[in-house]
Amino acid sequence: MKKSLDGWRREIDAIDEKIVRLLIRRARSAVAIGKKKREQASPVRDSSREKEVLRHIRKVNKGPLSGKALTGIYRRIISACLKLQKKAED
Amino acid sequence: MKKSLDGWRREIDAIDEKIVRLLIRRARSAVAIGKKKREQASPVRDSSREKEVLRHIRKVNKGPLSGKALTGIYRRIISACLKLQKKAED
């Protein structure tokens, strides 16, 4: 059976709940990484690791989102997680 | 056992794979919605629905990401999905 507009919106709401929960888990992992880096006296920002993350997500991508669009979303995610790492330092 | 820095990074890579797969599903649902809207001759952009989506994700959020940070990420996601809907119109 074909989904109605409302049916598709409910599908998106369900997907969004999963995405938000994963973003929360990602943010918590980033905070844990921030603590590890502090213990090791490493800098919080690591541009080679950021490039690795972006390469990885583009590899997993199968469309219809373009690599560019996905990279744009991920730059936001990485930046939000980085801010949390820095905040955890205070 | 406490995770090492590499262990946490592997955790993030695994989370990212799940996030990307969900973003792909979300984008596909958005394209399906775009088609429905075209059938019904409705405008692609619906700002009340966008507000509803943002309210919904902020409700699911439990931190450590702030509502503002999560909203910033989601504006990017919504905008990328909207571009796909418009593209599907051509």
Residues whose CB falls within 8 Å of the CB of residue B56, separated by 6 or more in sequence, listed in order: A13, A16, A17
End-to-end alpha carbon distance in chain B: 54
pLDDT of residue A1: 62
Tokens of B83: 């571009």
Tokens of A2: 């074909």
Q: What is the pTM of this model?
A: 0.95
Q: Is B43's pLDDT higher than 90?
A: no
Average pLDDT of the segment spanning B9-20: 98
pLDDT of residue A44: 83
Q: Is B89's pLDDT higher than 70?
A: no
Average pLDDT of the segment spanning A53-74: 97
Residue A80 to residues A4, A39, B58, B69, B89, Cα–Cα distance (Å): 35, 22, 15, 6, 33
Q: Assess contact for B5 and A37: CB atoms under 8 A.
A: yes
Write the residue in A15, A18, A80 that is nearest to B65 by C-beta.
A80
Reported as a pLDDT band with limits 50, 70 and 90, residue A58 is very high
Which residues from chain B sit within 8 angstroms of residue A4, using beta carbons?
Answer: 36
pLDDT of residue B90: 60
B54 touches chain A (CB under 8 A): no
B38 touches chain A (CB under 8 A): no
A76 touches chain B (CB under 8 A): yes
B63 touches chain A (CB under 8 A): yes
By C-alpha distance, which of A5, A64, A6, A14 is closest to B34?
Answer: A5
Q: Assess contact for A76 and B70: CB atoms under 8 A.
A: no
